[in-house]
């Protein structure tokens, strides 16, 4: 093992360097010039995202504790793009609200450490690294959720997040320790040879699954979602619903399809039931939400239910459709949260009825919101339709016709409440509609990228073919 093999960890090393540079910047940049920290952070992270696309070898390091391949590289790049858009969208908020009270750099450091945890989690070659990655990706977000320290509801959401996350990761760790007891190893490759479906292993799997189900906010473990999203700053709610959920789905997929493949006859039943319950509960609760953040929280729970349709197949088609759907989901949900953020930053309004008549005053924002909601609902011209369509095809190819039927029922329900927002924006008139305003450059850039993504990913088919190629070998 010489120095060049360390370059396999390029994503992690570069991100760590970015974090350290920001810490040094915090120390040496004068108080009066702190607002340039946002530009610096966005710039550094942009470079990091670009470096991520350079081609690289694949392999494993540290005796198999860290491994990487083409698909994992791609997943990390997807997360990078998501975080970059998120940074652009929250740039103005940071400059107006956060830098002024001298808390800006910590925001980036915490956000990037959480992303670093996700890298390690996705690249994990054993359960120890997986668990550490899970912790590193959750802990900083709890501090970020409590970032609006002046608001009581923000501190409350931070406490809720850290307590429920601690419980979930404790349960998960208990499951991992049982797996170690039955298989005698923590390395994924060794476990996959010896794992058998006896009672203790199944119990271990259920407990372990809980920890990830919590992060993805699948239904029996979803209670924290709406409260935390409502209280946390919008950027963090967006981060939790897009990046954090995406990374957890990625690692769950990798584990289910490789290490835990011998238990497939057990987990497919679990996933089947959880998928149905998650879709129905998420959608039915979303129907009656008035606060946009709570609304998007339940919508993201329902979307997690749809993702499970791709997970249930356990093959290459399933992998490709899940990754493809998540790529679209990241763009759509970031667009929706971005619009909510732009409006909230300008006017402080977050209720659905505040959006009435928005099209007449702010047509551009309304159009992007409409694109995002259409994409989330799965209406044909935009990317979301293809994402859902491929997921359903994957599930149907394994003969889960009833599940696909129930999913289609749920798409119909979700269409109703997504259109409620569209109706409020386009058809309703309001005397005190939000007046016209112009967002700053960062926000406009962030929204523009998401809008282009929503339109292009659906139409430009080589993207799906590329993902399908990558999904050939998972481990």
Partner 1 sequence: MERILFYILALIIVIFAIAAVSSRKMLRSVIYLLFVLCSIAGLYFLIDYNFLAAIQLTVYAGGIIVLIIFSVLLVHHIELELELAKPLKQIITALACLVGIGVILTTIYSYDFKVIENDTAITTADVGSKLLSYDQGGFILPFEVISVVLLAAMIGAIIIAKGKQVEKHENKRIE
Distance, in Å, from the CA atom of 442 to the CA atom of 445, rounded to the nearest integer, reads 5
**Are 256 and 311 within 8 A, CB to CB?**
yes
Q: Is 102 in the site for partner 1 (CB under 8 A)?
A: yes
Query: Using CB under 8 A, which of 45, 93, 147, 385 touches partner 1?
Result: 147
Q: CA angle 466-469-474, nearest 5°?
A: 125
**Binding status of residue 191 toward partner 1 by CB under 8 A:** no
Chosen residue from 39, 43, 63, 409 binding partner 1 by CB under 8 A: 63
143 belongs to the binding site for partner 1 (CB under 8 A):
yes
Q: Which residue of 14, 106, 167, 361 would you call a contact of partner 1, by CB under 8 A?
A: 106
Q: How far is residue 347 from each of residues 3, 186, 433, 465, measured CA to CA in Å?
A: 52, 51, 11, 43
Rounded Cα distance between 217 and 164, Å, is: 11
Q: Based on CB atoms, which residue is closest to partner 1, 9 or 424?
A: 9
CA distances, 440 to each of 157, 342, 343, 452 (Å): 28, 9, 12, 18
Give the binding range for partner 1 (CB under 8 A) out of 129-137, 211-219, 271-279, 389-397.
Answer: 129-137
**Residue 117 found at the interface with partner 1 (CB under 8 A):** yes
Applying the rule CB under 8 A, the residues between 283 and 342 that interact with partner 1 are none
- Binds partner 1 (CB under 8 A): choice among 55, 101, 432, 435: 101
Residue 182 as a binder of partner 1 (CB under 8 A): the answer is yes
Q: Which of 84, 139, 232, 425 binds partner 1 (CB under 8 A)?
A: 139
By CB under 8 A, tell whether 149 contacts partner 1: yes
Q: Is the dihedral of CA 278, 225, 247, 419 positive or negative?
A: positive
Shortest approach of partner 1 to residue 104 CB, angstroms? 11
Residue (72 or 139) nearer to partner 1, CB: 139
Task: Check binding of 61 to partner 1 (CB under 8 A).
Answer: yes
Do residues 318 and 403 make contact, with C-beta atoms less than 8 angstroms apart?
Answer: no
Binding mask 375-404 for partner 1 (x = CB under 8 A): ------------------------------
Among 41, 45, 52, 66, binds partner 1 (CB under 8 A): 66
Asked whether position 213 contacts partner 1 by CB under 8 A, the answer is no
Residue 392's alpha-carbon distances to 244, 292, 296, 430, in angstroms, are: 24, 28, 22, 39
Per the DSSP assignment, residues forming a β-bridge with 425 are none
Task: Out of 114, 210, 217, 450, name the contact with partner 1 by CB under 8 A.
Answer: 114
Taking the complex as a whole, how short is the minimal distance between the CB of residue 68 and partner 1, in angstroms?
13
- Chosen residue from 70, 166, 167, 203 binding partner 1 by CB under 8 A: 203
In the complex, minimum distance from the CB of residue 256 to partner 1, in angstroms, rounded to a whole number? 21
Number of residues that bind partner 1 (CB under 8 A): 45
Pick between residue 134 and residue 304 the one whose CB is nearest to partner 1. 134
Q: Is 64 in the site for partner 1 (CB under 8 A)?
A: yes
Point out which residues bind partner 1 (CB under 8 A): 1, 16, 61-66, 101-103, 106, 109-110, 113-114, 116-117, 120, 128-129, 132-133, 135-136, 139-140, 142-144, 146-147, 149-150, 155, 158, 178, 181-182, 184, 187, 198-200, 203
């Amino acid at each position: 093992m010489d120095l060049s093999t360390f370059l396999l960890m390029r994503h992690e090393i570069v991100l760590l360097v970015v974090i350290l540079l920001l810490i040094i910047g915090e120390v040496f940049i004068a108080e009066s010039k702190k607002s340039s920290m946002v530009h610096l952070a966005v710039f550094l992270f942009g470079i990091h995202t670009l470096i991520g696309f350079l081609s690289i070898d694949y392999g494993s390091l540290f005796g198999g504790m860290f491994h990487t391949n083409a698909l994992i590289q791609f997943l990390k790049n997807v997360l990078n793009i998501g975080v970059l858009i998120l940074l652009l969208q929250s740039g103005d908020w940071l400059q107006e609200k956060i830098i002024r009270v001298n808390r800006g750099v910590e925001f980036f450091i915490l956000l990037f450490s959480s992303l670093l945890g996700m890298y390690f989690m996705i690249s994990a070659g054993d359960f120890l690294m997986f668990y550490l990655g899970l912790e590193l990706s959750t802990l900083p977000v709890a501090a970020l959720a409590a970032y609006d320290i002046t608001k009581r509801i923000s501190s409350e959401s931070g406490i809720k997040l850290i307590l429920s996350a601690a419980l979930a990761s404790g349960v998960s760790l208990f499951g991992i320790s049982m797996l170690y007891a039955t298989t005698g190893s923590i390395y994924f490759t060794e476990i996959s040879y010896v794992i058998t479906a006896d009672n203790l292993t199944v119990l271990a799997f259920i407990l372990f699954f809980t920890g990830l189900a919590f992060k993805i906010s699948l239904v029996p473990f979803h209670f924290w979602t709406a409260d935390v999203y409502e209280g946390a700053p919008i950027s963090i709610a967006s981060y939790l619903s897009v990046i954090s959920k995406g990374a957890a789905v990625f690692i769950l997929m990798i584990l289910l399809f490789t290490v835990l493949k011998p238990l497939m006859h057990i987990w497919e039943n679990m996933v089947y039931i959880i998928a149905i319950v998650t879709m129905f509960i998420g959608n039915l609760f979303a129907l009656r939400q008035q606060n946009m953040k709570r609304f998007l929280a339940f919508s993201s729970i329902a979307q997690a239910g749809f993702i499970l349709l791709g997970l249930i197949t356990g093959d290459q088609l399933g992998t490709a459709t899940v990754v493809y759907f998540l790529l679209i989901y990241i763009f759509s949900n970031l667009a929706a949260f971005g619009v909510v953020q732009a409006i909230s930053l300008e006017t402080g309004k977050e209720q659905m009825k505040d959006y009435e008549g928005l099209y007449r005053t702010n047509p551009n924002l309304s159009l992007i919101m409409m694109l995002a909601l259409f994409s989330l609902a799965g209406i044909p011209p935009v990317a979301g339709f293809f994402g859902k369509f491929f997921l359903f095809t994957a599930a149907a190819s394994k003969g889960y016709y009833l599940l696909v039927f129930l999913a289609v029922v749920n798409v119909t329900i979700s269409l109703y409440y997504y259109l409620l927002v569209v109706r409020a924006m386009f058809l309703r008139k309001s005397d005190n509609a939000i007046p016209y305003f112009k967002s700053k450059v960062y926000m406009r850039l962030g929204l523009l990228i998401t809008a282009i993504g929503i339109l292009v990913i659906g139409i430009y088919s080589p993207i799906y073919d590329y993902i399908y190629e990558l999904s050939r070998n998972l481990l």
